[in-house]
Structure formats: structure tokens, C-alpha cells
Amino acid sequence: MNRLMTMLLLLAALTVAAAKPGVIAHRGYWNAPGSAKNSIRGLIKADSIGCYGSEFDVWVTADDVLVINHDAVINGLDIEHSTAAEVLAQKLSNGETVPTLEQFLTVAKPLNVRLVCEIKAHDSNRRQEEVIRRTLAMMKQFGLEDRVEYVTFSRNGLLSLIKQVPAGTSVQYPAGDVLPEQMAAWGGHGLNFRCKVLMKNPDLIRRCHDAGIKVKAWKITTPEQMKWCVDNGVDFITSDDPEMHLDMLSKMD
Ligand code: MG
């Protein structure tokens, strides 16, 4: 083996060793000081520690304003069936009010973190289409189409997003009722798995990758689980403690 070939093989080995999963702050880095789930502060904190992405959840109000919150209801208000004035008056646990998507993207624009945008499952197909249409339009308006990837738990929403996103934009879905091969046939790009499910069924990772589907894992609580994810080629970690998970990864060769 000549010297050039040896160097190329070494370089390839180093490249493989460096392929660690990207860490996505689930609802932002919400357990940082002064932060809260789906808050502006959580987005800024996720960016500040070098997360690959920061996840957030989008609803459309009864009067067509895009707002960010995880649950369908906040302080007794059903978001889909309330006005923006009612929803935006609600406080998060850190004292911020519920952000609009517009406010969120204004803050996100100069940051580096990728935007992992979950489109919530709405009550009707008509409203599901409305939230998708308005969200895609706002990402375009902000020039953020290259920095956003989408997640949804709505089957209709998934199929609609796949049809409408710009080429190359990732659309992801929770694993469970959809197999990797089915997701690929629909034109989707990623599946989310519980770490424990993957560890019991490691062949799922190979099947995803063979089908061109990225693998996201969540509920990782120990360094051993993290090492397993690294060794088995998991692409992304969805994390409720992103600083801890970044620290775990930094200590692995
Ligand atoms: Mg979510």
C-alpha cells in the first residue's frame, strides 16, 4: 500500500469517527436559566451552546395568526379556536408571552441554529392546510427556507408538507405506524424513534439509511445510550437537556 493510499484511508477513518449525531433542543433549551418551553429565550440559548437545531411547535389561531406553543390548550384557552389577542396575552413560565412565529423568526434570522418546525395536528383538514400554507409562506418571506426542517404527527399534514416544501427540505414523522420503506415511498426524509426501541431493533437504522431516511432518537438518559447511538449511526438526538448531551458527545472519540 503506498503512502497516498494510507493517508486516504486514515482520512476516511477520521471522517467516520467524527460523524456524531446532531443535537436538537426539544422545544428549545427550555431548562436553561430564565428559559421556558417554546420561548424566545429557549431558542437563543439553544443557539448559544451550539445545538444543531432548536425545535418548536406551530399552531394557527382562529383568526389566522401563527403562534408557538406545544399543547393545544394554554391556560384554558383552546388555541385553534381562540383569537390571537387572547392567545398572545398568555404568559409562559419565564414571564415571556406566547410568541408569534413572526416574532420567533425575527429573532432566529441572525442566529446559526437550524429551525426544527413541528406543525401541530389541527382539528380539520382545512385548518391543517391553512397552518402549513401560512408557515411555508412565512419561512420564505424571512429567507429561512434553507434553515428549516419540518416535523408533524399529522398523517395528512405529512403528505401535504412533502408535496409543498422546497426541494431538499426535510420532512419528518414519528416512527411507529410508518416503516422506513413506506416513508421513503411517500418522499419523506426522517423518522423519530425512542432510543430504547432502536436499541431493541438496531436493524431499523440500516433499513432507514438504505431507504435514504435519517434517524432521530430521543429519550437518551445515559452515556451508554448515547455511545450506542454514535456507534450505530443515529443521525440526530432530540434532547430535553441539550447541554448535557453535547457534553456527552464531546467526551466521545
Ligand atoms: Mg414538538
pLDDT tens string, the chain, 253 residues long: the values are 566 665 555 555 444 454 899 999 999 999 999 999 999 999 999 999 999 999 999 999 999 999 999 999 999 999 999 999 999 999 999 999 999 999 999 999 999 999 999 999 999 999 999 999 999 999 999 999 999 999 999 999 999 999 999 999 999 998 888 999 999 999 999 999 999 999 999 999 999 999 999 999 999 999 999 999 999 999 999 999 999 999 999 998 7
Q: How far is the CA of 17 from the centre of ligand 1 (A)?
A: 30
Q: How far is the CA of 14 from the centre of ligand 1 (A)?
A: 34
Q: How far is the CA of 1 from the centre of ligand 1 (A)?
A: 51
What would the grid cell of residue 85 be?
389577542
With beta carbons less than 8 A apart as the criterion, state whether 25 and 55 touch: yes
Angle subtended at Cα 79 by Cα 103 and Cα 42, rounded to the nearest 5 degrees: 40
Cα-Cα-Cα-Cα dihedral sign, residues 189, 195, 196, 202 = positive
In the chain the first and final C-alpha atoms are separated, in Å, by 27
Q: How far is the CA of 174 from the centre of ligand 1 (A)?
A: 11
Q: Name the amino acid, one letter, at 102.
A: E
What span, in angstroms and rounded, lies between the C-alpha atoms of 241 and 253? Answer: 21
What span, in angstroms and rounded, lies between the C-alpha atoms of 188 and 120? Answer: 17
Q: How far is the CA of 49 from the centre of ligand 1 (A)?
A: 20
> Cβ neighbours of residue 177 under 8 Å, at least 6 residues apart?
none
Using CB atoms within 10 Å of the CB of residue 149, give its burial: 0 to 12 exposed, 13 to 18 middle, 19+ buried: buried
pTM (two decimals): 0.92
Neighbour-count burial for 198-230, b at 16+ CB within 10 Å, e otherwise: beeeeebbebbeebebbbbbbebeeeebbebbb
What span, in angstroms and rounded, lies between the C-alpha atoms of 214 and 62? Answer: 35
Helix (H) or strand (E) holding 150, with range, is: strand 148-152
Q: What integer pLDDT is reported at residue 14 of this predicted model?
A: 46
Q: How far is the CA of 8 from the centre of ligand 1 (A)?
A: 41
In Å, what is the CA distance from 164 to each residue of 26, 122, 145? 25, 18, 12
